[in-house]
């Protein structure tokens, strides 16, 4: 009897750890949007933020590359390029630029929330993957939320976020391409992050110093330290570790379902950090995409194809 209670208690503790890891990952992903936009208000350009992100992560993850290599043979040329472009400096530049042209709550929907839709399209057209009714329903909700945010919200607000929305959707597609390649490459998340970070550091650093020189030394030190720590360590390394641990404990389906919280968390975090309050239409779009991501993740009630 005691052994049964102990085993049950251990399982509950393990599940709790998995849930906390998943929530930690979502908080980091959602916070990235506001922290990145905050960096711009403190005088940092998207080039500065990108350099700090991959400068720190590239150096810290270099030992992984020295030990395991760049996996050229395992990946192949085209997947390797997609991996670097999809999650590297080019992605960071596009995503960081996007939040300067549209509200952070929109970024939570159009970058993180729409990502499962892009992944599904890539899988359907290139990998011939099929989806059950629940996942198809989820993608429909994501599309409705996308139309609500991009169209109705901007129309009623009488403000054009067109450039920001295009950049956000571009960033979402880039990361979705990275996700698809990573999933089918058999690389673990840390190795994939190391390849992206080190390559981005090596490729982007010369460009950054050619364009900006040593102007980063003239920027506010508190802003530099905040972005270096968050972008390079928290968003690029810690989030990957927590997400991998959550998936290992909870399983892929249950762990991925937490991704549905990103748009909501991003909207809530933007309120105290940036003073941005989503409109009623924004909340409708956020709810639609959140529900869609949850269903598309494969979690919930449906099992039949």
Instruction: Report whether pLDDT(62) > 60.
Output: yes
Cβ–Cβ < 8 Å for 201, 64: no
Q: Of the segments 70-74, 113-117, 254-258, 270-274, which one has the largest average pLDDT value?
A: 70-74
pLDDT bucket at 16, cuts 50 / 70 / 90: confident
Residue 278 CA: distances (Å) to CA of 27, 167, 200, 238: 18, 20, 34, 28
Q: Which residue has the higher pLDDT, 180 or 151?
A: 180
The pLDDT value given to residue 3: 56
Tell me what the mean pLDDT of segment 190-218 comes to.
91
Tell me what the mean pLDDT of segment 139-161 comes to.
72
Instruction: Report whether pLDDT(304) > 50.
Output: no
The pLDDT value given to residue 2: 54
Q: Which residue has the higher pLDDT, 31 or 267?
A: 31
> For every residue of 26-57, which 3-state class applies, written as one string?
HHHHHHHHHHHHHHHHCCCCHHHHHHHHHHHH
Q: Which residue has the higher pLDDT, 63 or 272?
A: 63
Cβ–Cβ < 8 Å for 302, 132: yes
pLDDT bucket at 145, cuts 50 / 70 / 90: confident
Q: Give φ, ψ of 109 to 5 degrees.
A: -80, -50
pLDDT bucket at 302, cuts 50 / 70 / 90: very low
Least confidently predicted of 40-54, 57-71, 100-114: 100-114
Among 56, 47, 14, 38, residue whose Cα is nearest residue 232: 56
Q: Give φ, ψ of 186 to 5 degrees.
A: 70, 10
Global pTM?
0.80
Least confidently predicted of 22-26, 93-97, 210-214: 22-26
Q: For residue range 230-280, list pLDDT tens digits in order.
A: 999 998 888 878 876 777 777 655 566 666 677 778 778 878 877 778 778
Q: What percent of the chain has pLDDT over 70?
A: 87
């Amino acid at each position: 009897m005691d052994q049964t209670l102990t085993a049950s208690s251990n399982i509950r503790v393990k599940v709790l750890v998995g849930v906390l890891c998943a929530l930690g990952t979502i908080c980091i992903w959602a916070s990235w949007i506001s922290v990145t936009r905050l960096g711009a208000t403190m005088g940092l350009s998207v080039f500065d933020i990108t350099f700090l992100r991959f400068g720190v992560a590239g150096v810290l993850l270099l030992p992984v590359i020295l030990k395991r290599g760049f996996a050229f043979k395992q990946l192949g040329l085209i997947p390797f390029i997609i991996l670097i472009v999809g999650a590297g400096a080019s992605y960071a530049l596009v995503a960081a630029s996007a939040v300067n042209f549209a509200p952070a709550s929109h970024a939570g929907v159009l970058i993180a929330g729409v990502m499962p839709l892009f992944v599904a399209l890539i899988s359907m057209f290139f990998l011939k993957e099929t989806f059950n009714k629940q996942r198809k329903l989820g993608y429909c909700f994501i599309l409705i939320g996308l139309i609500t945010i991009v169209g109705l919200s901007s129309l009623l607000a009488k403000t054009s976020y067109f450039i920001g929305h295009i950049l956000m959707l571009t960033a979402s597609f880039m990361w979705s391409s990275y996700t698809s390649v990573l999933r089918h490459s058999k690389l673990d998340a840390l190795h994939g992050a190391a390849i992206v970070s080190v390559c981005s550091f090596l490729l982007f650093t010369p460009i950054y110093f050619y364009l900006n020189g040593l102007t980063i030394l003239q920027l506010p030190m508190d802003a530099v330290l905040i972005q270096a720590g968050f972008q390079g360590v928290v968003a690029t390394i810690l989030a990957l570790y927590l997400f991998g641990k959550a998936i290992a404990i909870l399983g892929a389906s249950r762990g991925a379902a937490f991704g549905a919280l990103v748009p909501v968390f991003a909207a809530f975090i933007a309120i105290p950090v940036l003073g941005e309050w989503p409109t009623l239409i924004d909340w409708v779009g956020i709810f639609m995409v959140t529900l869609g991501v949850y269903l598309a993740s494969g979690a919930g009630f449906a099992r039949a194809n």
